[in-house]
Amino acid sequence: MDPQSTDVSPLSEAMGARLSAARAAARGLRGLDVATKRAVLHEAARRLAGQGGEVLAGNAADLAAHDAAPGGGRGPAFRDRLLLDATRLARMGEGLRQVAAMDDPVGEVVEARALPDGLRLRRVRSPLGVILLIFESRPEVAVEAFSLAFMAGNALVLRGGRESMNTTGALYRLLGEALLAHGVQGGALLGITDPDRGLTRALLADDRSIDVVVPRGGPGLIDFVVEHARMPIIKNDRGLCHVYVHADADLDMAVRIVDNAKTQRPGVCNAMETLLVHRSVAARLLPALHDRISGPARATPVRWFADAEARAALAGRPHVAPATAGSFDTEYLDLALSARVVPDLPAAIDHIERHGSRHSECIVTASPEAARRFQQEVDAACVYWNASTRFTDGFSLGLGGELGISTQKLHVRGPVGLQALTSVRWVFDGEGQCR
């Protein structure tokens, strides 16, 4: 297909039938009892534990294909996003059980009141319908998304990237078996392993079958979905996250926070990409931090792209290069960071306003006043005081995972959890009232 063409190839008859099944399943899920929802999720967790070998075998095939690619694949951070192991399988199972233990959001009455003529009205949570999630390399996204969408009464269409298709294929089969074991229509989950971008464009054009699309991946994927989608988008944009170390910060705390935010899992969207340091503490903080994250004890040292003042504080140390014009707009998703020394708190906030992605931002300070000003003025979905940005995560926040981290401002902002997969509508009870 010509990538510049505006024509969209029609969906195959088989795919059209599967989407019709998803639409029918969404209707049935609106009234599905919570006991059955919980039973399905627990069944999926049991099957994940019992059939984990099949999932790991598929993952091994995907990892082998990645490693055999020219140049050894797309790098260690990408490989880490692709990797599943026993620990991550166990976390996926715990996420399923965590969602199963939550209150059912469907039917929750958000507001109830009566008009003077006796007409009673309620604002009630209802499922979104059929959700299309397009994601790239992280296969555990499939399980997180299924648990949340299903508990919120939605049918789910999953389209993962070609890099993880063996892993996701195994997960789709396992989740489908859990649904069938409890008599739920198979159309509640449509897992697609075909990576054809033409198929993706056709899905994005089918706003009669699909109610909402959630893209979860890099800028290329986000831009593609924004360009082609005919249905509403819950946008999960890049995570260009900052940590700002203020003049009065506990520097040992700052080193720990920056280390965790940058190195604990550098290939994810809530990892820190840019470090901002107050001028008065740069000469003490930066060498100590460099020793910790870029010193000889690190098997893979963090690479620095630093402005002139930061380089002066790090003079003679390895793995430090000058920041370029584009450094502070770069989401590395790797063991690399940008560093800048700033004169004061307003300058740090101004930098984040110009370069941030409105995802997650942190200030390290002993001053409640500085922290509150930072939290009030920084325009981001999640704003931290003295804590790592890595907590912007549905599982860590007790949401059982998330469909992504929304950086937009309508409907949902931050981790897209259970309630975010419903909308609120009006329900009226009358006794013959007319206007």
- What's the pLDDT score for residue 195? 80
Q: What's the start-to-end Cα distance of the chain, in Å?
A: 55
Q: Which amino acid is at 167?
A: T
**Chain segment 386-401, per-residue pLDDT in tens:** 999 999 987 788 776 7
Confidence of residue 126 (pLDDT cuts 50, 70, 90): very high
Q: Which amino acid is at 415?
A: P
- Segment 71-79 shows an average pLDDT of 82
Q: Please choose, from the candidates 214, 190, 147, the residue with its C-alpha nearest in 3D space to the C-alpha of residue 404.
A: 214
DSSP string, 121-174: EEEEEEE--EEEEEE-S-THHHHHHHHHHHHTT-EEEEE--GGGHHHHHHHHHH
How far apart are the C-alpha atoms of 227 and 201, rounded to whole Å?
A: 10
How far apart are the C-alpha atoms of 71 and 91, rounded to whole Å?
A: 31
Structure tokens at 108: 């929750």
**H/E segment holding residue 425:** strand 422-429
DSSP string, 43-72: HHHHHHHHSHHHHHHHHHHHHHHHHHSGGG
pLDDT above 50 for 1: no
Structure tokens at 91: 């976390």
Stated length of the chain: 435
pLDDT above 50 for 4: no
pLDDT above 80 for 2: no
pLDDT above 50 for 112: yes
The CATH code that applies to domain 241-391 is 3.40.309.10
Structure tokens at 54: 């099949």
Q: Does domain 13-236+409-429 have CATH number 3.40.50.150?
A: no
pTM (two decimals): 0.82
pLDDT above 90 for 372: yes
Q: What is the dihedral of CA 363, 275, 240, 3, to 10 degrees?
A: 170
User: What residues are paired with 156 via a beta bridge?
Assistant: 131, 189
Least confidently predicted of 135-139, 253-257, 368-372: 135-139
- What's the pLDDT score for residue 282? 98
Angle in degrees, CA 40, 45, 51, rounded to 5: 115
- Segment 80-103 shows an average pLDDT of 94
How far apart are the C-alpha atoms of 44 and 179, rounded to whole Å?
A: 8
- Segment 42-71 shows an average pLDDT of 95
Domain ranges of the chain: 13-236+409-429, 241-391
Structure tokens at 199: 């198929």
Phi, psi of 200 (to 5 degrees): -60, -45
Q: What is the dihedral of CA 334, 337, 338, 343, to 10 degrees?
A: 150
- What's the pLDDT score for residue 5? 37
